[in-house]
Amino acid sequence: MERVAGHLEVSLTDDAHLIAIKLHKWMADGDGAARIHLSPRDARYLASLLIVRAEDAEQAGEGLNTGTTGY
């Protein structure tokens, strides 16, 4: 598990086939939507972390169809 900007957690699911992103501070705006504000540095870190976790999940799930988006 890695944290980005102190409130965004990126990890793999227990079966290691999907990437899990958990937002610790839910900051809903007036229409109920959550927004994540990241500095350019944190945004680059999140992008690189997602690439690494995607590679980990692909290796763990070789031969599996992991097209589930969760929504």
What is the maximum span of the chain, computed from C-alpha positions, in angstroms? 43
- Give the pLDDT score at 46: 92
Range 57-64, long-range pairs (CB < 8 A, 24+ positions)? 57/12, 57/16, 57/17, 57/18, 57/19, 60/12, 60/15, 60/16, 60/17, 61/15, 61/16, 61/17, 64/17
Instruction: Say how far apart CA 36 and CA 25 lie, in whole Å.
Output: 9
Full residue range of the structural domain in which residue 52 is found: 2-60
In a domain, 71, yes or no: no
Tell me whether residue 32 is in a domain.
yes
Position 41 pLDDT exceeds 80 = yes
Give 17's DSSP letter.
Answer: S
Question: How many domains does the chain fold into?
Answer: 1
Query: What pLDDT is attached to residue 52?
Result: 92
**What tokens were used for 36?**
């994540």
Report field, pTM of the whole predicted structure over 0.75: no
Question: Please, which pLDDT band fits residue 27 given cuts at 50, 70 and 90?
Answer: low
